[in-house]
Amino acid sequence: MYTSRAPSPSTILIPLVLFTSFYTLYTLLAPSFPKEKQRAYILSTISSATMTSLSIPYLYTYTTMGFEGAFERCQQSWMGGLGRMGVLFFGTYLFSDLLIGYVKYPSQVGLLTGWIHHTVYIGLMVHLLNSRLSPVFLIGCIMELPTFDLAISNLFPSCRHDLRFLSSFFIFRIAFHAILLVDCLRPSSRAVMGGSWVPGVSLAMAGLLHVLWFKGGLVGYIKRHSKAKLSSAAASDQACASDEQDSGVDYEARQDSSAEEPVLHQLAEFDPTLIDTIPSSLSSPIPASPRTNATTPETTPLMTPRTPSSGSQTPFNFPALPHLPTVSIPSITLPISISSLSLPLPLPLPLPLPSGLNMNMNSEGFKEAVKSRWEEQRGRFMIRRKKSRVSGEDEQQEQDYEQDWAGVAVDNLEEANIVARKGQTVIIREVELD
C-alpha cells in the first residue's frame, strides 16, 4: 500500500550541509576553468557522477527481480535509507545550481533547461521524500550517465566525443527510459505503488524532453560531420592542385635552369643524360617545395642567382659530383688554318750592354718601318676586298682574302724580327769597336 512519510529533522539538516559542500567545491574548482560555460558544468559533473554511482545497486535489483520485486526490495534495510539520501542530494543540487548559477554564471541558466526544469524537479523530489517512490527515481538515475559525459566534455574539451555521447544518450535516455515508462504504466506496477500516476506521468514528460534534446544533438552532429567532410574534400582538392602546380613549377624551373646555364645546355644537345646526372641543387636554382621539408633559398648553403642576398654569405660547399659520362665534343672548323700559320721564334736575348748605353737606338726607325709596312699591306687588302664585293665573288674567295691578310700579318712579323736582329747586331759591333 502507498503511504506518505512525515519529514524528519535530518531532512532539513542534510540539505544545508550539502549546499555548503556544493558552494565550497565550486569556489575551489572555478579558478581552474576560465570560461563561464565550463564553470556552469562543475556542479553538474559532481551531481551526475554521484547519482549514476548511487543508481547502480538499484539498477541491478531491477534487472534481476523485475519492477515489483525491486520496488519492495529497495524499501528495506540500507537501500531504503540510501534512496532517501539520493533524493535529498539531487534536490539540493538543483537548488544550488539555480542559486549559485544566478550569481556566478547567469548566462548559462536557461529558462526551460534551467528555471523550469529545476523547479519542477525540486517539487518532484519533495513529493518523493513524502512517499515510498524513491526507489523508482533511483532506478532511473542511471540516465545521468550521458549528463556526466556531457559535463566532462565541457570541462575538458579534449575528452569530447559526440558519437559516444549520442550513443549513450539514446541507450539510457531513449531506450531504457521507454522500458521504465512502460513498466511504471502497467496495472501491476501501479498497484505496487498504491495506484500512483506520478512516476508514469513524470517519465512521459521527461521522455518528450529527451526526444527533443536527442533530435537537436543528432541534427547538430550530422551538420558538423557533413561540414567536416566538405572541408576535408576541399583540403584534399587544394593539396592535389598544389601538387600539380608544384610539378609544373619544378618542370619550368628545370627548363629555365638549362637556359640560364649555356654550357650545360650546349652539352645536353650531345648527351641528354648529362643534366639528369647533375644534382638538383646544382642544375636547378629553384628550391624544392616547402612540403618536402627541403632547404629554402634563405637556408641553403649554395648561392644561386635566385638566392636572396643576406647579411652574411656562407662559403660554397659543393656536394660531391657523381661520375659524369664521357662527352664527345665535335671538331670545330676555324676560318684560318692553324697549321698554315708559322709563328715567329722568340727573339734571342741580347748580350749584356754596358751601363750608360742608350737602349733606344734605332727604336724610332724600327717602329716607323713596321708601321708603314703594315699600313701599306692593309690598304692593298681593303682595296681587293671592296673589288670582290663589287664583282660578286663568293664567300670562299673572301675567306681566302682573310687568309692572305693573316699571311701578310705573319710576313710583317717576320720582317720586324729580321730588322730587330740586324739592329741588335749593329749595336753589338759598335760596342766591340769601342
Q: What percent of the chain has pLDDT over 90?
A: 43
Which of 150, 176, 196 is where one domain is finished? 196
Is the model's pLDDT at 331 over the cut of 70? no
Structural domain boundaries, residue 374: 366-433
Is residue 100 in some structural domain? yes
> CA-to-CA distance for 88 and 74, rounded, in angstroms?
17
Task: Indicate the pTM of the whole model.
Answer: 0.54
pLDDT of residue 268: 53
Please report the pLDDT score of residue 235 as a whole number.
74
Measuring CA to CA, which residue among 78, 170, 167, 181 is closest to residue 139?
181
Single residue among 163, 196, 229 that ends a domain in this structure? 196
For 332-346, write each residue's pLDDT tens digit. Answer: 555 544 444 444 444
The confidence band for 227, taking pLDDT boundaries of 50, 70 and 90, is confident
- Tell me, yes or no, whether 105 lies in a domain: yes
Spatial CA neighbour of 94 closest among 75, 73, 122: 122
Contacts of 110 (CB under 8 A, 6+ apart): none
Residue 128 lies in a domain: yes
% of the chain with per-residue pLDDT over 70: 55
Mean pLDDT of the region 258-287: 49
Q: What is the pLDDT of residues 288-298, one digit of tens each?
A: 443 334 433 33
Place of cell 681566302: 400
Q: Whole-number mean pLDDT of the chain?
A: 73
Q: Is the pLDDT of residue 154 over 60?
A: yes
Q: Is residue 234, in this structure, part of any structural domain at all?
A: no
Last residue of a domain, which of 196, 217, 240?
Answer: 196
61 in any annotated domain: yes
Whether residue 325 is contained in a domain is answered as no
Q: Is residue 42 part of a domain?
A: yes
Number of domains in the chain: 2
Q: Is residue 176 part of a domain?
A: yes
